[in-house]
Structure 1
């Protein structure tokens, strides 16, 4: 191999950032040392039903188009693999039945599979010409090396995608309540801070409700903790299903939930009252706790609106205090209900 080819190869490997930036220079190098008109990288789908040209370098009259798809059963690559042939200068005679190759006029054909250690076939690295050309053993050895480099890059990118997907799953799991699957306290803190900052920029107002499940301990004591968990699931689903665009709902403790949304700053009390009534409609009634259905009178809800430049933590404290006022009022009424607790 000439020094300039070695230098190109070293520069390619050092500069490559992804499969494309590695493949394209390698195809040019392969064409230069082999003299073949076209060099190209293909992919083979998981079901081994289709082969697709991913990247191609065409230097002569032959044109192997990128994106060309051919049924795997009708390819030169499949036959070369099955027969253990990596090079031939009589492909037109040896595999005359292959229509795509016949249409392209391929006579000289060079191929090396890209395979994982477990045997999974990623694709092939190929070269082709319309005339018979000799290909040296050194060139074929280089083809094998290039195929291995590309295989390693494919596996590296697959691993990165897998790690990114895992990170996304871990991040999502870290923001979700493990029992109900709705956002947790950490998610609430992030979203509430974002919503309040956005409201300040867009002249909106954040309305927040602190929700405490009255009688939840009695449900656990009477029906068992499994029934209590089922009640939490049913309750969360009921509220979750009633959310509108812009609403946010989170479980922040055993029997504590928080809801918030944003609206225009006009008629804040009227809007709070409408939101509170909507929440009460979603949080009382019949809830499944397994084989039984529980008739639930509803939670205590403290409804407040954010004040100018108020911190999220302070808003939550005020909502908690408003909820406690309603809880005490409900305890002092025979039917366990109280006047709607809405800020003046």
Structure 2
């Protein structure tokens, strides 16, 4: 008994808690089977989640039966949580008849918000009286299980909230692309990998003419343009590519290329980005023809580990392209 109590006190999951409680409950009640159910009222189904069976009565885990007609439903509706003559009380209960249950005791498992999660039950094929205090123990165990369910739901909700916050911290709100923080993490990670067969390409993209778009059409249109062009860049990415908004009207793409094919891959990446970003944009009814951004791409040197220095090289390469484009327009 002491070992079971210790297992209950150290339980971290619903199963860790329930299984020793079912064993304790069997000892206290003296009945053949103890089990925990869940109830799906919308689907009209009751399922056996965990069960402990001794002697002849076998209530299998995973068993699903229609909620209508179950002993648990009858007991809740009639507030009759124990009987040693199931055949007399609920003769028309098919599940009880099929399982051969004569003695039955249960307690509802309700979460903190009052939701009916399921039932904690004990049953036997023989007609047996309950030992004194058994119903109090049954009800106490059902409350312990409900508290564990509430704890697990709270932990799950906190994890989801934490995951959402983590994603938000690494996501640009305008374009929904990874932000500069995510970019630096990814760049740091890729530079830390020793790759004998591939090199890292870093493309720095600056949206020429973006300020004029903002000034002429307003910031809302400017944000739509950023989002649209970010989506087009994302669509041009391959499996190992990574695109992020560096800030303002600047984006960065990370890609990989085989050592002996770096220049060809660099040219291919430039072509993909230029093709994706250039052309007509529909920005909430405004049609905008865009000539494309300035793109600078560099290949990381072997042993390169300085993220900022590598970005600065790509930025400088981008400005060379920008100057050449300006000169061509004069």
TM-score by structure 1 length? 0.92
Tell me how far 1:195 sits from its aligned partner.
2.3
State the 1:13 CA deviation: 2.8
Question: How far apart, in 1, do the equivalents of 2:293 and 2:69 lie?
Answer: 67
Match of 2:138 in 1: 143
Among 286, 304, 311, the alignment partner of 1:292 is 286
What corresponds to 1:182 in structure 2? 177
Runs of 4+ off more than 6 Å? none
Q: What is the aligned length?
A: 329
- 2:299 aligned with 1:305: yes
Residue 276 of structure 2 is matched in structure 1 by 282
SS of equivalent residue, structure 2 residue 260:
coil
Structure 1 residue 202: deviation in Å? Answer: 4.9
Q: Which of 81, 84, 88 is matched with 2:76 structurally?
A: 81
1:133 matched to which residue of 2?
Answer: 128
1:314 matched to 2:324: no
SS of the residue 1:209 aligns to: strand
Give yes or no for contact 1:114–1:148 (8 Å, CA) kept in 2: yes
Whether 2:187 is the aligned partner of 1:214: answer: no
State the SS of the aligned residue for 1:267.
Answer: helix
Cα distance in 1 for partners of 2:43, 2:54 equals 29
How far apart in 1 are the matches of 2:254 and 2:4?
A: 58
- Number of the residue aligned with 1:271: 265
CA distance in 2, matches of 1:242, 1:267: 20
1:224 is matched with which residue? 218
Q: Are residues 1:55 and 2:50 paired?
A: yes
Tell me, yes or no, if the aligned pair for 1:12 and 1:26 is still in contact at 8 Å. no
SS at match of 1:315: helix
Q: 1:110 aligns with which of 100, 105, 113?
A: 105
Alignment partner, residue 342 of structure 1 = none
Is 2:112–2:147's contact at 8 Å kept on the other side of the alignment? no
How far apart are the structure 1 equivalents of 2:261 and 2:197? Answer: 14
Change (3 A) 1:248 1:219: same
Q: Which residue of 2 aligns with 1:196?
A: 191
CA distance in 2, matches of 1:68, 1:32: 23
What's the offset of the Cα at 1:93? Answer: 2.3
Q: Deviations over 1:263-289 (max 9, x none)?
A: 211121121111111110011111122
- 3-state SS, counterpart of residue 329 of structure 2: coil
Contact 2:177 2:230 in 1 (8 A): yes
Query: Any conservation in 1 of the 2:28–2:131 contact (CA below 8 Å)?
Result: no
SS at match of 2:171: coil
User: Which residue is 1:341 aligned to?
Assistant: none
1:183-237 Cα shifts (integer Å, max 9, x gaps): 0001111112222333x23531111100000110000111111111111111111
| Conserved 8 A contact 2:41-2:67 | no
Give the whole-Å Cα distance in 1 for the aligned partners of 2:44 and 2:163: 31
- Contact 1:230/1:288 (8 A) holds in 2: no
* SS of residue matched to 1:214: coil
2:318 equivalent in structure 1: 323
For residues 217 and 252 of structure 1, the distance between their equivalents in structure 2, rounded to whole angstroms, comes to 16
Segments of structure 2 that go 5 or more residues without pairing to the other structure are none
Q: What corresponds to 2:64 in structure 1?
A: 69
Does residue 115 of structure 2 align to residue 120 of structure 1?
Answer: yes
1:340 corresponding residue in structure 2: none
